[in-house]
């Protein structure tokens, strides 16, 4: 169900209590793959209608620990959609220009326009994650950002943006396996950095930071979904279910023709 992994506003969670195992919810990989392919075809058609309609917007946010599967999820779930109607933004270390503005400046520039799906690979939530764990700014700076983020997302929702936020929840052991897989294949060396191991040492600190943002920034307008992501096939299915359900709720329609096109004769 689309609500299986959605958090409820005001209901506190502990990440340690939430399984990373997709097999807990779906044990038949073959059946899951069949459903996923069908959902992807639905997504392609619904996105086409959203783009043609040109009124509403959809913002999809992905956050995860390193090797959590953000890139893979985006690549597989959105395969086949019209690239004119989908924009993926990746938020890495802020530039000098970014730092000269408020922390949401670079984010606001990337939110989707009417008819578009915007996909954030990392997001404004980095400013209550990395800056906190790495002590880049003091708590007096990062803690008020939870409320600023909630206000920002509320503004987007009021302007016709549907917001879906996914935390791809993997175990520490699964992260180890994925790092090792990158080291085992030379073509994947580029995906690995020694800095990843330094962050791995801070696993518990990052989990605490994620837990706080999930509790602080789950709202009616922009709820978080904690997706068990140790099994990639289930991760893709769970995300697709939520996306397709949300777009069906929007029910985008092709616009009616401006003129009686059936009366036109091509000379």
Query: What's the rounded mean pLDDT across residues 82-106?
Result: 96
- Please give the span between the terminal C-alpha atoms of the chain, in angstroms, as a whole number: 52
Whether pLDDT at 186 is above 70? yes
Whether pLDDT at 103 is above 90? yes
**Which structure tokens are listed for 56?**
């509403």
State pLDDT tens for residues 5-15.
999 999 999 99
> CA 40, CA 120: separation in Å to the nearest integer?
19
Whether pLDDT at 217 is above 70? yes
Does 185 map to a domain? yes
Does 128 map to a domain? yes
Whether pLDDT at 130 is above 80? yes
Does 259 map to a domain? no
Does 25 map to a domain? yes
Whether pLDDT at 1 is above 90? no
Query: What's the rounded mean pLDDT across residues 114-128?
Result: 98
For the chain, the average pLDDT equals 95
Count of structural domains, the chain: 1
Does 40 map to a domain? yes
Query: What's the rounded mean pLDDT across residues 169-181?
Result: 95
Does 261 map to a domain? no
Share of the chain above pLDDT 90, in %: 87
What is the DSSP annotation of 193-246? -HHHHHHHHTHHHHHHHHHHHHHHS--SSS-EEEEE-SSHHHHHHHHHHHHHHH
3-state secondary structure of 138: coil
**Which structure tokens are listed for 257?**
């023709």
State pLDDT tens for residues 16-73.
999 999 999 998 999 999 999 999 999 999 999 999 999 999 999 999 999 999 999 9
Q: Give the pLDDT band of residue 196 (cuts 50, 70, 90).
A: confident
Q: Give the pLDDT band of residue 190 (cuts 50, 70, 90).
A: confident
The answer to whether 161 touches 59, Cβ cutoff 8 Å, is yes
Does 5 map to a domain? no
3-state secondary structure of 31: helix
The residues, ordered by sequence, that sit 6+ positions from 210 with a Cβ below 8 Å of its Cβ are 15, 63, 65, 129, 167
- Tokens 């000098």 identify what position? 96
Residues β-bridged to residue 163: 59
Q: What pLDDT does residue 261 have? A: 67
Q: Find the CATH number of the domain harbouring 21.
A: 3.40.50.300
Q: What pLDDT does residue 194 have? A: 82
**Which structure tokens are listed for 206?**
């990052």
Does 208 map to a domain? yes
> CA 20, CA 40: separation in Å to the nearest integer?
23
Query: What's the rounded mean pLDDT across residues 63-89?
Result: 97
**Which structure tokens are listed for 169?**
């929840």
Is the pTM of the predicted complex or chain greater than 0.85? Answer: yes
The residues, ordered by sequence, that sit 6+ positions from 243 with a Cβ below 8 Å of its Cβ are 39, 43, 60, 77, 164
Instruction: Please report, to the nearest 10 degrees, the dihedral formed by the alpha carbons of residues 199, 204, 208, 210 taken in order.
Output: 50
Q: Which residues span the domain enclosing 27? A: 15-254
State pLDDT tens for residues 229-243.
999 999 999 999 999
């Amino acid at each position: 169900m689309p609500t299986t992994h959605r958090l409820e506003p005001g209901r506190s969670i502990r990440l340690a209590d939430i399984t990373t195992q997709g097999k807990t919810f779906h044990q038949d990989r073959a059946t899951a793959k069949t459903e996923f392919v069908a959902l992807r075809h639905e997504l392609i058609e619904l996105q086409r209608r959203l783009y043609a309609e040109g009124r509403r917007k959809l913002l999809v946010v992905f956050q995860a620990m390193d090797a959590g599967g953000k890139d893979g999820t985006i690549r597989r779930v959105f395969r086949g959609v019209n690239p004119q109607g989908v924009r993926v933004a990746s938020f890495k270390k802020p530039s000098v220009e970014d730092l000269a503005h408020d922390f949401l400046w670079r984010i606001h520039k990337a939110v989707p326009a009417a008819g578009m799906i915007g996909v954030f690979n990392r997001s404004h939530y980095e400013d209550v994650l990395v800056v906190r764990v790495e002590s880049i700014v003091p708590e007096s700076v990062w803690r008020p950002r939870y409320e600023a983020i909630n206000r920002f997302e509320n503004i987007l929702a009021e302007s016709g943006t549907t917001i879906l936020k996914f935390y791809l929840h993997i175990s520490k052991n699964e992260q180890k396996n994925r790092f090792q897989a990158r080291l085992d294949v030379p073509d994947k060396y580029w995906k690995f950095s020694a800095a990843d191991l330094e962050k791995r040492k801070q696993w518990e600190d990052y989990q605490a930071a994620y837990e706080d943002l999930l509790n602080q920034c789950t709202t009616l307008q922009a709820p978080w979904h904690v997706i068990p992501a140790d099994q990639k096939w289930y991760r893709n299915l769970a995300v697709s279910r939520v996306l397709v359900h949300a777009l069906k709720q929007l029910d985008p329609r092709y616009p009616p023709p401006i003129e009686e096109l059936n009366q036109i004769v091509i000379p």
